[in-house]
């Protein structure tokens, strides 16, 4: 006898193991912290908050600020503690989940946990969008298609015209195309025009990367009101804590720190790609995100060699088609120098 639903026999925890290292380049975080003056502003406001009171049901005060910032109707904005929770809610709501292989693992993880039928279409050669295969999969009964753009974990960017075709296919078939823009700031791309007049397209964004707020756990959905209503109904009530709301509102009040950080990351990404271009054993793939996927002869050997020099990266060789691959987040200039020096000597 088991108290749990039979499909949970297959469920596994998110594939992440904490490892301590001097230089942490394994989670695509911002290498720079949230600005000190904004932290100070937040701390003052936290002291004035009534900690005994529940926050608003759906962080409505934060939502209004965010809707203004994004130029999106408030009824289509949903906040949650990390965009992962929005992915979970969408997977729970979906009759089926479709993604690409490889892709950010939680699309599959959340579908399996929710007991929602899941399938994946392999990426096209060169990590391209498998447009024809996705379109033909969408001829079946409608479900939810998760597509990260820039793509994770490859760092590739899909062509705007291909995404537009996919969006039109979703409109015609009743699928929901969820474009996960966790890394869009580093690419300078924006899926809002695709979603604005098409209720079959929704966008996921997060404060975890370019906003320097990975520890605060806030992501959001920009969608049609009907999609937002379904997701809100599946989220736990009052799930954005009051202190989180204070941090996010402070960020939205003074968002000017984001663009210079993004510029620094882009410059460092260029430097890392140039530094890896002549590597005798490794191939670095082009990236428009804040991380780079690198193919090595042996991912474990490369990972171990980097860790021995105090550098933590992420192995990606468990994904289909990514044999030998590791992924490195773009760090500070000093961190990237240390990475390039260690990489030059790594197997
Ligand atoms: C493509 C993609 N989507 C979503 C997430 C989750 O972001 P959050 O921190 O908002 O849960 C990540 C995190 O690394 C990601 O890479």
Q: What is the full DSSP assignment across 39-56?
A: HHHHHHHHHHS-TTS---
Cβ–ligand 1 distance for 210 under 6 Å, the answer no
Q: Directed axis angle between helix 299-308 and helix 333-345, to 10°?
A: 120
**pLDDT value of position 10:** 76
User: Could you identify the atom of ligand 1 that is nearest to the CA of residue 217?
Assistant: 9
Asked if the model's pLDDT at residue 217 lies above 90, the reply is yes
User: Could you identify the atom of ligand 1 that is nearest to the CA of residue 148?
Assistant: 1
Percent of the chain with pLDDT over 70: 100
**pLDDT value of position 81:** 98
Give the pLDDT mean for 214-228. 98
Please, what is the average pLDDT of the chain?
97
Asked if the model's pLDDT at residue 1 lies above 80, the reply is no
Q: How far is the CA of 146 from the centre of ligand 1 (A)?
A: 12
**pLDDT value of position 16:** 86
Q: How far is the CA of 206 from the centre of ligand 1 (A)?
A: 7
Cβ–ligand 1 distance for 82 under 6 Å, the answer yes
Asked if the model's pLDDT at residue 86 lies above 90, the reply is yes
User: Could you identify the atom of ligand 1 that is nearest to the CA of residue 104?
Assistant: 1
**pLDDT value of position 9:** 86
User: Could you identify the atom of ligand 1 that is nearest to the CA of residue 214?
Assistant: 9
**H helices of the chain, where?**
36-48, 60-70, 83-93, 106-114, 131-137, 160-173, 184-187, 192-196, 225-234, 242-253, 258-277, 299-308, 333-345
**pLDDT value of position 319:** 94
Give the pLDDT mean for 214-221. 98
CATH number of 18-33+258-345: 3.90.1150.10
Give the pLDDT mean for 34-55. 97
Q: How far is the CA of 40 from the centre of ligand 1 (A)?
A: 27
Q: How far is the CA of 119 from the centre of ligand 1 (A)?
A: 20
What would the pLDDT profile of 111-166 be if each residue is shown by its tens digit?
Answer: 999 999 999 999 999 999 999 999 999 999 999 999 999 999 999 999 999 999 99
Ranges of each domain in the chain? 18-33+258-345, 49-253
The pLDDT-based confidence of 88 (bands split at 50, 70, 90) is: very high
What's the CATH fold of domain 49-253?
3.40.640
């Amino acid at each position: 006898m088991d108290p749990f639903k039979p499909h949970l026999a297959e469920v596994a925890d998110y594939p992440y193991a904490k490892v301590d290292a001097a230089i942490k380049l394994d989670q695509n975080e911002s290498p720079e912290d949230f600005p000190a003056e904004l932290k100070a502003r937040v701390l003052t406001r936290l002291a004035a908050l009534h900690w005994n009171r529940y926050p608003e049901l759906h962080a409505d005060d934060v939502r209004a600020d965010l809707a203004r910032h994004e130029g999106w109707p408030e009824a289509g904005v949903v906040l949650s503690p990390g965009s992962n929770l929005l992915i979970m809610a969408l997977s729970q709501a979906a009759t089926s989940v479709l993604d690409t292989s490889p892709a950010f693992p939680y699309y599959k993880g959340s579908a399996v946990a929710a007991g929602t039928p899941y399938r994946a279409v392999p990426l096209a050669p060169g990590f391209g969008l498998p447009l024809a295969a996705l379109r033909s999969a969408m001829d079946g009964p409608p479900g939810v298609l998760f597509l990260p753009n820039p793509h994770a974990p490859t760092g590739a960017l899909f062509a705007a015209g291909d995404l537009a075709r996919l969006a039109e296919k979703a409109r015609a078939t009743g699928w929901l195309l969820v474009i996960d823009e966790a890394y869009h700031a580093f690419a300078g791309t924006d899926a809002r025009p695709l979603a604005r007049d098409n209720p079959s397209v929704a966008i996921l964004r997060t404060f975890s990367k370019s906003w320097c707020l990975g520890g605060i756990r806030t992501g959001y959905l920009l969608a049609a009101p009907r999609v937002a209503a379904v997701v809100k109904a599946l989220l736990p009530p009052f799930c954005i804590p009051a202190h989180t709301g204070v941090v996010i509102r402070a960020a939205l009040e003074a968002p000017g720190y984001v663009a210079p950080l993004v510029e620094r990351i882009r410059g460092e990404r260029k430097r890392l790609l140039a530094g890896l271009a002549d590597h005798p054993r490794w191939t670095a793939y082009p990236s428009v995100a804040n991380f780079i996927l690198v193919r090595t002869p042996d991912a474990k050997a490369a990972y171990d060699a980097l860790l021995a020099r105090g550098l933590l990266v992420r192995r990606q060789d468990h994904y289909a088609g990514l044999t030998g691959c590791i992924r490195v987040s773009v760090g500070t200039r000093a961190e990237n120098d240390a990475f390039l020096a260690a990489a030059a000597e790594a197997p």
